[in-house]
Amino acid sequence: MTCEVTFMIIRIENIADYVDQTITMQGWIYAKTGKGKLHFIQLRDGTGIAQCVVFQKEVSEEVFDVTQQLTQESSVLLTGTVRKDERAPGVPGGYEVGVTDIQVIQSVNEYPITPKEHGVEFLLDRRHLWIRSSRQWAILRIRACIMRSIREWLDENGFLEMTTPVITPAAVEGTSTLFEIDYFDKTAYLCQTGQLYNEANIAAFGKVYAFGPTFRAEKSKTRRHLTEFWMVEPEIAYCDLGQLLEIEEQFVSHIVQSCLKKCSAELALLGRDISMLSNIKPPFPRITYDNAIERLIDLKNETDDPEQKSLIDIEWGDDFGAPHETALTQMFDKPVFITHYPTQVKAFYMPVLENRPEVCCSADLLAPEGYGEIIGGSERIHDHDTLVNRIKEHNLPIETYDWYLDLRKYGSVPHSGFGLGIERTVSWICGIEHIRETSPYPRMINRDNP
RNA sequence: UCCUCGGUAGCUCAAUUGGCAGAGCGAUCGGCUGUUAACCGAUUGGUUACAGGUUCAAGUCCUGUCCGAGGAGCCA
C-alpha cells in the first residue's frame, strides 16, 4: 500500500492557517452525506473534524466514483483547497475543503457504531471504537488537558513529581476494598493511595506529588465510582489546613481556567455551560461540617417532599451520602470546602482539634452543580506517640507501619496533603452524567474489557 | 449484598385480554448541487437471553439461571 503525498500535510486543528492553499489531510471518514452530484464528507484526523465537499464537475470521474463508495471510518488521504465558509460544521468548524483528490487507504465494511442511538452496554463493549465518536473524543481531550494543567501548576509552584508504588505489601486499612495479587507466593495489594509514601518523600523533597492510578475493590455501582481511577496527591511539608486550602483553590482554579482557554471547542461540542466554569477563581467558600449539618437540617425542615426529606435526613456524626453532597453543592456556585469533619468518619492519621477532639483538621472540596467530592485532604499527625495511639485505636497492624512511624522520629514536621480524583473532575468540567465516559477504558464492577 | 426496571432484527424500540413477529435507523440498489442524525423510492433483515413448566395456542403467564441499567449500602 502506498501513501503518495504531493501536497503539504496539515492537521485539522490548524486548518484556519491554510485558507486558499491546497493541502492534504490524513484521516478517517466520520460521516458522509450525498446529494447526487454533491457530497459532504466529515473527515476526522484526531485533532479535529473538517467538512470536505466533493462536486462532481470539479473532480475526475475516478475520484467521484471513490467518493460515492466511501464508508464510515474508512481511512483516507484527502487533498483539496481550504476555504472559509460559515455553514461548515466540524471542529473547529467554519472552514471546509473543496476536494480535488481522495486516496483510500482502507475501505471499511459495516462500522458498528452508527451516528444513531446506541445503548450503554453496546458502546462500552466497543469502547476501543467509541472513543472515535466526537463526544468521547472531546471528553478525553479535556481529560488530557486537565492532566497537563495539573502537572503544569504543580511543577511551576515548587512541587516535585515523585512516583509511589502500585504494588504495596500490606493493607493500610481493611482488606475488603483492596485488590489482592500473587507476588511470588506472597499476597500483595494494588495501591489505594500513595499518601504514606508522599509523607516520606516530603522530608526528602519538601513539596511533592504522586500522580497515577489507584484501585478500589468496592462493589459500588454508581455514576461516581470506578474500580481503577487516577488521582493526583500533593503533599506539603510545613503546611497547615488553612495554607492547604489556599493551595487547593488556586490549583483547581488553574485547572478549570486552562480547560476554558485550551478546550473551548471541545466544551462547546459537549454543550457545556461555560458560565458555570468561568467564575471558578479563588477564593472558594469554606463552611464547617457543623454548619453543613445545620444547613441540611434547615433544608429538610423547609422541604415538603417526604422523599426528599428522608434522602437528606442526617445527624451530626454521619458521613455525607450522595444526596447530601448534591444538596450542599447546590447552595453555592463555586466549589465549596467542608472543613473539620467528625474524627470518627475520617482516617487515622488526621489530627484532632485541640479543644474539640471529636472533629479533625480535615477538608473535602465539593464541586458545584451536584458533582460532589473531588478532593479529600487534611493535616497529618506529626507526633509519634499520638500517631501510635491512633493506629492502635483503629485496630490497625502496628508492625506494618514501621517505616511510616520512622518519619515521626527523624525530623517530623507539621504537614498536609490532599488527593484529587481525575475522573470526577473531568465529569464536572465536562458536565457529563456518568464517570464511565471520563476514562478511556473504564474499569467497573462488571467490566474489565476492552 | 439489597431494592427497582429491563433483555424481541446489526442498532434503538413497539407488539392490545395469551391469538399471523412489527417500525425506524443501518446495510444494499436507484434519485437528488449546501448537507448538519439530510431527504425520497425499493430491497434486505428473527433460536423473542437461557432452561423448564401451564395452555388448543406463550414475546406475553409461572419457576429457576445468566446478563445489563438506575439507585442504595460500601467508598481515608
* C-alpha to C-alpha distance for A212 and A288, rounded to whole angstroms: 30
First to last CA, chain A: 29
Which residues in chain A come in under a pLDDT of 70? 1-5, 171-176
Phi and psi, residue A116, nearest 5°: -100, -175
pLDDT recorded at residue A251:
98
The nucleotide whose C1' lies nearest the CA of A83 is B34
The nucleotide whose C1' lies nearest the CA of A373 is B75
The nucleotide whose C1' lies nearest the CA of A191 is B76
pLDDT recorded at residue A174:
54
Alpha-carbon dihedral A276, A281, A283, A285, rounded to 10 degrees: 20
Q: Which protein residue has its CA closest to C1' of B12?
A: A117
Give the distance, in angstroms, between residue A119 CA and nucleotide B6 C1'. Answer: 12
Strand order in the sheet with A186-190: A167-168, A186-190, A180-183
pLDDT recorded at residue A396:
84
CB count within 10 Å of CB A396 equals 17
Give the distance, in angstroms, between residue A232 CA and nucleotide B65 C1'. Answer: 43
DSSP letter at A127 equals H
The nucleotide whose C1' lies nearest the CA of A89 is B36
Residues in chain A: 450
Largest CA distance in chain A: 86
DSSP secondary structure, A150-206, as one string:
HHHHHHHTT-EE----SEESS-SS-GGGS-EEEETTEEEEE-S-SHHHHHHHHHHHS
The interface predicted TM-score (ipTM) is 0.90
pLDDT recorded at residue A1:
47
DSSP secondary structure, A358-423, as one string:
EEESEEEEEETTTTEEEEEEEEE---HHHHHHHHHHTT--GGGGHHHHHTTTSS---EEEEEEEHH
Give the distance, in angstroms, between residue A224 CA and nucleotide B46 C1'. Answer: 38
CB count within 10 Å of CB A151 equals 14
A182 dihedral zone (left: phi>0; alpha: psi -120 to 50; beta): beta
DSSP letter at A320 equals P
Give the distance, in angstroms, between residue A221 CA and nucleotide B3 C1'. Answer: 13
**Cα-based distances in Å from A60 to A63, A65, A208:** 5, 9, 61
Helix, strand, coil content of chain A in percent (nearest 5) = 35, 30, 35
The nucleotide whose C1' lies nearest the CA of A119 is B12
Whether the Cβ atoms of residue A348 and residue A394 lie closer than 8 Å to each other: yes
pLDDT recorded at residue A176:
63
Closest CA to A248 of A167, A337, A182, A184: A337
Tell me whether strands A8-9 and A22-35 are parallel, antiparallel or unpaired: parallel
Give the distance, in angstroms, between residue A55 CA and nucleotide B56 C1'. Answer: 64
Give the distance, in angstroms, between residue A109 CA and nucleotide B60 C1'. Answer: 37
Closest CA to A147 of A341, A420, A391: A420
* C-alpha to C-alpha distance for A140 and A128, rounded to whole angstroms: 13
Whether the Cβ atoms of residue A96 and residue A53 lie closer than 8 Å to each other: yes
* Chain centroid offset of residue A122 CA: 23
pLDDT recorded at residue A302:
86
Ordered domains of chain A (ranges, CATH): 8-106 (2.40.50.140), 127-285+332-438 (3.30.930.10)
Q: Which positions of strand B lie within 7 Å of protein CB atoms? A: 1-2, 10-13, 24-28, 31-39, 67-76
The nucleotide whose C1' lies nearest the CA of A120 is B69
Whether the Cβ atoms of residue A128 and residue A101 lie closer than 8 Å to each other: no
CB count within 10 Å of CB A403 equals 10
- The grid cell for A326 is 448534591
Instruction: List Cβ neighbours of A69 (8 Å cut-off, separation of 6 or more).
Output: A107
Give the distance, in angstroms, between residue A121 CA and nucleotide B68 C1'. Answer: 7
* C-alpha to C-alpha distance for A311 and A305, rounded to whole angstroms: 10
